[in-house]
Structure 1
């Protein structure tokens, strides 16, 4: 096997030497060759005048008054209003919160962790993180008692949301794989048989 690897390495060295042989002279020879002539123009392109438009005529045209455009601009009406300041916007948010029906939290974390204690109630149809984990864990442990209907009733959720919660979200599962013992069967390699 080592001889095949040596031959392969020797082959790559030879090809590299051939490829790099006299590279500078070959490159200079290609650069010094006469450049190819451009293809002749098609006769139809000669019909267009080859005049260069002076830059002064373009700038004069830009500065000229264009009455039709001005008359169209007079028809445009723009109305603007000042943006609402943040001080005025805050009471609007408070009004929206008061209008939405809310419910008290069923479960919360003990202690002041990550600002969860700031939340005392949630809108109906919503769950806090702790409530969602508790509901999922209850459903996992006792699925006949904690059905989607019971979860919807307990947490003021829509039935379709409660069904989606139990169907698509799962609390963490810890699976312990037993250690391998001598009694477990193992697949043996056919070359050792």
Structure 2
């Protein structure tokens, strides 16, 4: 009942009130702050300064085009040379490869030390997963010429073919049975 009364007062004479608001004079925007130029600066100097800023200066542009900055870190450059020279010479024969022509790649005969092929990585990971006491990170690092730190990270973060079955919350729920 109170809502009806409130709606009647709210809608009473609505059209006249709308026309009155529309016909009111619109408020004017606030005036801009007046800028006072110093008496020594004439209007011609201001125009000349604005023009000189906006114009292209050919001699400066040619100098800028001729500038070439090359940043080098001497320590990083020496380390990079050592890595590339040392690693290129050290190669090891493949320990494991897939039969045939896998993935359309050319058959490799050797790999740089510190690197693995996909087939070798899968073989090393699966053998560690099956027999972790025999295939320790130290043995894998030694067999495949890898860093021990990288091998431990590989075994910790890349686990192939691991299936986890999460038990249901209720006892009467359907569950996949392992065969």
1:18-56 deviations in Å (ceiling 9; x for gaps): 9xxx99x95x876654221222455xx25248x9779x8
For 1:36, the equivalent position in structure 2 comes to: 27
Contact 2:88 2:112 in 1 (8 A): no
Partner of 1:156: 145
1:114 aligns with 2:103: yes
Evaluate the alpha carbon distance shift between residue 156 and residue 30 of structure 1 in structure 2; reply closer, same or farther with a 3 A threshold. farther
**2:171 & 2:87 partners in 1: Cα distance?**
66
Aligned to 2:155: 166
Number of matched residues? Answer: 142
Aligned-residue CA RMSD in angstroms? Answer: 4.9
TM-score norm. by structure 2 comes to: 0.54
Secondary structure in 1 matching 2:28: coil
Contact 1:125 1:158 in 2 (8 A): yes
SS of the equivalent of 1:122 reads strand
Paired with 2:161 and 2:24, the residues of 1 have a C-alpha distance of: 73
Structure 2 stretches of 5 or more lacking a match?
A: 1-6, 69-83, 174-179
Structure 2 distance, partners of 1:46, 1:79, is: 40
8 Å contact 1:148–1:166 — kept in the other structure?
yes
Contact 1:139 / 1:147 at 8 angstroms: preserved in 2? Answer: yes
Task: Call closer, same or farther: CA 1:174–1:74 in 2, change over 3 Å.
Answer: closer
Residue of structure 2 equivalent to 1:145: 134
**Is the alpha carbon distance of 1:63 and 1:137 closer, same or farther for their aligned partners in structure 2, counting shifts above 3 Å?**
closer
TM-score by length of 1: 0.51
Counterpart CA distance in 2 for 1:168 and 1:38 is: 64
Residue 109 of structure 1 contacts residue 117 of structure 1 at CA under 8 Å; is this kept in 2? Answer: no
Match of 1:101 among 66, 84, 90: 90
Consecutive unaligned residues of structure 1, counting only runs of 5 or more, are 1-14, 81-94, 179-183, 188-193
Cα gap change, 1:123 to 1:59, in 2 (>3 Å): same
CA distance in 2, matches of 1:77, 1:164: 48
